[in-house]
């Protein structure tokens, strides 16, 4: 007969644990049931401007599949597994939530399909999905819906000018050499042309948070502030 003193240990040993390298990430203790507007994407690109482009859907699906297949092969060879690339949702202000393992198949059907309304139980950075439905309004035109942090550079130097020391050079290139101000994203160092040149002129070389929408390599600016 088991002694009562051994029960806590057995409970700990045999209770299903979260985490690991399954296809998806288990959510521990969801804290809040709510509905958000966002884009279903992958955990590698998360909320980078690239992840919000319509054409990224195929890339996200391939990225998740490749990660899964590589780990399956590593498992067969007895090698250490890498962290899985899984689906998640990017909410406004570029907050990314990993979608629970059991909801990965559902999430895949919305990748690259544009904005969605996602209802579920949210933890700090994970969500157990109750439902996902298409969001009828064009979220990409809601200027403050997404935010990215990076530097204001110029089109002549691009990512090379993503630092505070480049301010004077960037201004000179724009005023004297016909260059344009650009935004260099911190996450992937991609360079985006900015539509509202007059709004960013005073911020050459500044580390800023840009809010707006992207279309290919173009960023439509809604607002800008110095990054915290």
Do 58 and 123 share a domain, yes or no? yes
Do 172 and 131 share a domain, yes or no? no
Tell whether 56 is covered by a domain.
Answer: yes
Do 109 and 169 share a domain, yes or no? no
Do 152 and 184 share a domain, yes or no? yes
Do 109 and 129 share a domain, yes or no? yes
The yes-or-no verdict on residue 147 having pLDDT over 60 is yes
- Cα–chain center distance at 202: 28
Where are the alpha helices (H) located in the chain, listed in sequence order? 7-14, 56-76, 104-108, 167-177, 197-200
Q: Indicate the pTM of the whole model.
A: 0.53
- The pLDDT, as a whole number, for residue 145 is 52
Chain-wide mean pLDDT for the chain? 81
Tell whether 11 is covered by a domain.
Answer: no
CA distance 113 to 17: 33
Do 132 and 39 share a domain, yes or no? yes
Which range in 50-64, 92-106, 167-181 is most confidently predicted, on average pLDDT? 167-181
In terms of C-beta density within 10 A (0-12 exposed, 13-18 middle, 19 or more buried), how is residue 145 classed?
buried
CB neighbour list of residue 116: distance below 8 Å, 6 or more residues apart: 37, 38, 39, 40, 89, 110, 132, 133, 134, 135
Do 199 and 159 share a domain, yes or no? yes
Mean pLDDT, to the nearest integer, of 25-43?
74
- The pLDDT, as a whole number, for residue 14 is 35
| Lookup result for tokens 């007895």 | 78
Tell whether 172 is covered by a domain.
Answer: yes
Tell whether 2 is covered by a domain.
Answer: no
Q: In Å, how far are 30, 32, 92, 113 from 116, measured between CA atoms?
A: 20, 19, 12, 8
The yes-or-no verdict on residue 48 having pLDDT over 90 is no
Local structure of residue 25 (DSSP, 8 states): B
Q: Among the three residues 106, 136, 166, which one is the final residue of a domain in this structure?
A: 136
Do 131 and 157 share a domain, yes or no? no
- The pLDDT, as a whole number, for residue 73 is 95
Tell whether 23 is covered by a domain.
Answer: no
Record the tokens describing residue 169, joined without a space: 């050079």
Do 110 and 164 share a domain, yes or no? no
Tell whether 12 is covered by a domain.
Answer: no
The yes-or-no verdict on residue 171 having pLDDT over 60 is yes
Tell whether 89 is covered by a domain.
Answer: yes
Do 197 and 131 share a domain, yes or no? no
Domain hosting residue 201, numbered range: 146-226
Tell whether 6 is covered by a domain.
Answer: no
Domain count, the chain: 2
The yes-or-no verdict on residue 140 having pLDDT over 80 is no
Do 49 and 129 share a domain, yes or no? yes
| Backbone φ and ψ of 25, nearest 5° | -125, 125
- The pLDDT, as a whole number, for residue 153 is 97
Do 210 and 119 share a domain, yes or no? no
Residues of the chain with pLDDT > 70, as a percent, come to 81
pLDDT tens profile 76-106: 999 999 999 999 998 866 789 999 999 999 9
pLDDT band at 149 (very low <50, low <70, confident <90, very high): confident
pLDDT tens profile 183-203: 998 877 889 999 999 999 999
CATH number at residue 181: 2.40.50
- The pLDDT, as a whole number, for residue 12 is 29
Among the listed residues 130, 144, 90, 94, the one whose alpha carbon sits nearest the alpha carbon of residue 114? 90
- The pLDDT, as a whole number, for residue 200 is 96
- The pLDDT, as a whole number, for residue 54 is 67
- The pLDDT, as a whole number, for residue 93 is 60
- The pLDDT, as a whole number, for residue 92 is 65
The yes-or-no verdict on residue 27 having pLDDT over 50 is no
């Amino acid at each position: 007969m088991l002694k009562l003193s051994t029960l806590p240990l057995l409970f700990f040993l045999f209770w299903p644990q979260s985490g690991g390298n399954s296809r998806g990430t288990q959510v521990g203790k969801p804290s809040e049931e709510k509905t958000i507007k966002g884009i279903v994407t992958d955990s590698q690109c998360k909320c980078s401007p690239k992840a919000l482009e319509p054409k990224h859907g195929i890339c996200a699906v391939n990225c998740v599949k490749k990660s899964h297949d590589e780990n399956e092969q590593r498992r067969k060879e007895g090698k250490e597994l890498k962290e899985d690339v899984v689906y998640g949702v990017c909410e406004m202000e570029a907050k990314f939530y990993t979608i629970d393992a059991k909801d990965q198949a559902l999430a895949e059907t919305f990748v690259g399909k544009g904005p969605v309304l996602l209802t579920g139980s949210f933890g700090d950075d994970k969500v157990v999905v109750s439902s996902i439905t298409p969001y009828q309004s064009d979220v990409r035109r809601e200027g403050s819906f997404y935010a990215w942090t990076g530097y204001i550079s110029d089109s002549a130097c691009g990512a090379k000018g993503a630092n505070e020391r480049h301010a004077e050079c960037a201004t000179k290139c724009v005023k004297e050499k016909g260059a344009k101000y650009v935004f260099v994203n911190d996450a992937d160092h991609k360079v985006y042309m900015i539509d509202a040149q007059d709004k960013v002129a005073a911020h050459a070389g500044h580390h800023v948070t840009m809010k707006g929408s992207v279309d290919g390599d173009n960023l439509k600016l809604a607002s800008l502030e110095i990054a915290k």
